[in-house]
Amino acid sequence: MAEVEARWVTLSHGRTRYFAGGEGPPCILLHGVGYTAGGDAWWLNWGALSERLTVLAPDFMGWGLGDRFPREYSFAYLVDFVREFQDALGIERAHVVGHSMGGWVAALLAYESPTRVDRLVLVAPGGLATRTLRSMTEFEPPTLEAIRAQWAEHTPPGLVDLDAVAHRDFAKTTVPGALEAYRLILRHMNDPLHRQRYHLLRRLPHIAAPTLLIWGRKDRVNAFELAEEALRRLPRAQLVALDADHFVPTEVPEAFNRAVLEFLTAESGPTSA
């Protein structure tokens, strides 16, 4: 496997950590919404992907170990964060892979800035339903034990050092301003009016990039029926369904990595649904 290392870049909101490694076309990995999420959420994927791609996995502004933006910021801010990240690294266009919230942002990016996205992988993306999420409205900071239990639930048995990864993620909760920033994020993201404004269904038919949808058949966050609806609306898409819940990249990493690599390194993308 190619070596992937942590790096830092200074953007308009402050310093952002990202993970980089590999050779080949650039591929930006966008993580989901969890309080302890970050670019390192992809650590079971970036080794395999970096064998044929240049992997770039940033902490979103407001996440990870980087600087916080002390305001209630919008989906538009998150999308522009990706564009600014590309600008800072001199990347005109890239493959973009997004999971959950990251998939929502990736789809908005492909809709708003089609020249920035080569191929698009949406992994159980948000933005396809306007309902609010209980995990956001009833959020409480997780304990070390809760973080460990989540990793145990969403990774294959014996694959992960649960104590090590729990301590790694718990360290993110100690960043000054992390809790306040995250509550601002949730307040905006779970507002029904904002969710309606940035809904994906009307945007999907206008996404030109070849798109791979990856979904867990047992997804309890974004039901599999949403995958079928997204497939009908995207003009150049295909769907891979895996035996997983919502956290597909860590629940079935080998199958996920294989599907992503096959799609991103194929000579041509899908021409129709």
pLDDT in tens, 111-169: 999 999 999 999 999 999 866 666 666 688 999 999 999 999 999 999 999 999 999 99
pLDDT in tens, 242-252: 999 999 999 99
Cβ distance 31 to 99 under 8 Å? yes
* Highest CATH level, class, for 4-264: alpha beta
pLDDT in tens, 2-59: 689 999 999 999 999 999 999 999 999 999 999 999 999 999 999 999 999 999 999 9
Give the residue extent of every domain in the chain.
Answer: 4-264
Q: What is the pLDDT of residue 134?
A: 65
Which secondary structure element, helix H or strand E, spans residue 11, and what is its range?
Answer: strand 4-11
Q: What is the pLDDT of residue 133?
A: 63
What percentage of the chain has pLDDT greater than the value 90?
77
Q: What is the pLDDT of residue 192?
A: 82
Q: What is the pLDDT of residue 267?
A: 81
3-state secondary structure 144-195: HHHHHHHHHHCCCCCCCCHHHHHHHHHHHHHCCCHHHHHHHHHHHHCCHHHH
Q: What is the pLDDT of residue 100?
A: 95
Q: How far is CA 38 from the centre of its chain?
A: 9
Query: What average pLDDT does the segment 91-104 reach?
Result: 97
